[in-house]
Amino acid sequence: MTLNKDFWASQVGAILSQGRDYGNSTIGANAKINVEYVSANPTGPLHIAHARGAVIGDALANLLAKAGYDVTKEYYINDAGSQIDTLARSSYLRYREAFGEEITIPEGFYPGDYLVAVGENLKARDGDKWMNAEEADWLPVVRDFASDAMVVKIKEDLAQLDIVQTFSSEKALVKSGAVERAFKMMDEKGVMYRGVLEPPKGKAPEDWEPREQWLFKATDFGDDVDRPVQKSDGSWTYFANDVAYHFDKHERGFVEMVDIFGVDHGGYVKRMKAAVQAITSVEGSLDILLCNLVKLSRGGEQVKMSKRSGNFITLREVVEEVGKDIVRFLMLTRKPDAPLDFDLDLVIQSSPDNPVWYLHYANARIEALFKMTRDLLPDLEINDKDLLGADLGLLGESEELNLIKQLTAWPRVVESSAKAREPHRIAFYLNDVSAAFQRWYSTGNKNAALRVVVQGDKDLTTARLALAKATAHVIASGLAIMGVEPLKEMR
223-242: which residues touch RNA (CB under 7 A)?
A: 224, 227-228, 230-233, 237-239
* Residue 468 Cβ vs RNA, minimum distance, rounded to whole Å: 8
Interface stretch with RNA, choices 66-74, 107-115, 142-150, 353-361 (CB under 7 A): 353-361
Among 228, 231, 252, 106, CA closest to 178: 252
* Contact flags string 253-272 toward RNA, x per CB under 7 A: ----------xxxxxxxx--
* 325 makes contact with RNA (CB under 7 A): no
* Residue 187 Cβ vs RNA, minimum distance, rounded to whole Å: 19
3-state secondary structure of 329: helix
Cα dist from 24 to 78, 149, 414, whole Å: 35, 39, 8
Among 406, 391, 294, CA closest to 343: 294
* 306 makes contact with RNA (CB under 7 A): no
Question: DSSP letters of 193-222?
Answer: EEEEPPPPSSS--TT----EEEEE-GGGGT
Q: Which of residues 2-41 bind RNA (CB under 7 A)?
A: 41
Interface stretch with RNA, choices 3-11, 14-22, 64-72, 331-339 (CB under 7 A): 331-339
Backbone angles phi, psi at 282, to 5 degrees: 65, 10
Strand partners, 33: 71, 256
* 459 makes contact with RNA (CB under 7 A): no
Closest CB to RNA among residues 339, 389: 339
3-state secondary structure of 429: helix
Residue from 129, 184, 211, 252 in contact with RNA (CB under 7 A): 211
> Residue 44 and residue 87: Cα distance in Å, rounded?
9
Q: Angle of helix 355-376 relative to helix 458-482, nearest 10 degrees?
A: 150
* 308 makes contact with RNA (CB under 7 A): no
Q: Which helix (H) or strand (E) holds 248?
A: helix 238-251
DSSP-assigned letter for residue 169: E
Closest CB to RNA among residues 97, 396: 396
Closest CB to RNA among residues 96, 298: 298
Q: Which helix (H) or strand (E) holds 319?
A: helix 315-322
Closest CB to RNA among residues 123, 217: 217
Residue type for position 234: G
Closest CB to RNA among residues 287, 386: 287
Cα dist from 417 to 250, 325, 424, 426, whole Å: 24, 21, 8, 7
Residue from 29, 159, 282, 490 in contact with RNA (CB under 7 A): 490
Count of H-run helices and E-run strands, the chain: 17, 11
* 113 makes contact with RNA (CB under 7 A): no
Residue type for position 37: Y
> Residue 197 and residue 344: Cα distance in Å, rounded?
48
Backbone angles phi, psi at 3, to 5 degrees: -60, -35
* 125 makes contact with RNA (CB under 7 A): no
* 70 makes contact with RNA (CB under 7 A): no
Interface stretch with RNA, choices 14-22, 46-54, 180-188, 422-430 (CB under 7 A): 422-430
Q: Which of residues 365-394 bind RNA (CB under 7 A)?
A: 365, 367-369, 372
* 476 makes contact with RNA (CB under 7 A): no
Interface stretch with RNA, choices 11-19, 53-61, 197-205, 377-385 (CB under 7 A): 197-205
Residue from 78, 147, 408, 462 in contact with RNA (CB under 7 A): 78
Interface stretch with RNA, choices 116-124, 245-253, 338-346, 471-479 (CB under 7 A): 338-346
* Contact flags string 154-193 toward RNA, x per CB under 7 A: ----------------x-----------------------
Interface stretch with RNA, choices 141-149, 196-204, 315-323, 478-486 (CB under 7 A): 196-204
3-state SS, one letter per residue, for 452-472: CCCCCCHHHHHHHHHHHHHHH
* 398 makes contact with RNA (CB under 7 A): no
3-state helix, strand, coil in the chain (%, to 5): 55, 10, 35
Residue from 121, 377, 444, 476 in contact with RNA (CB under 7 A): 444
Q: Which of residues 136-155 bind RNA (CB under 7 A)?
A: none
Residue from 133, 166, 420, 459 in contact with RNA (CB under 7 A): 420
The residue count for binding RNA (CB under 7 A) is 81
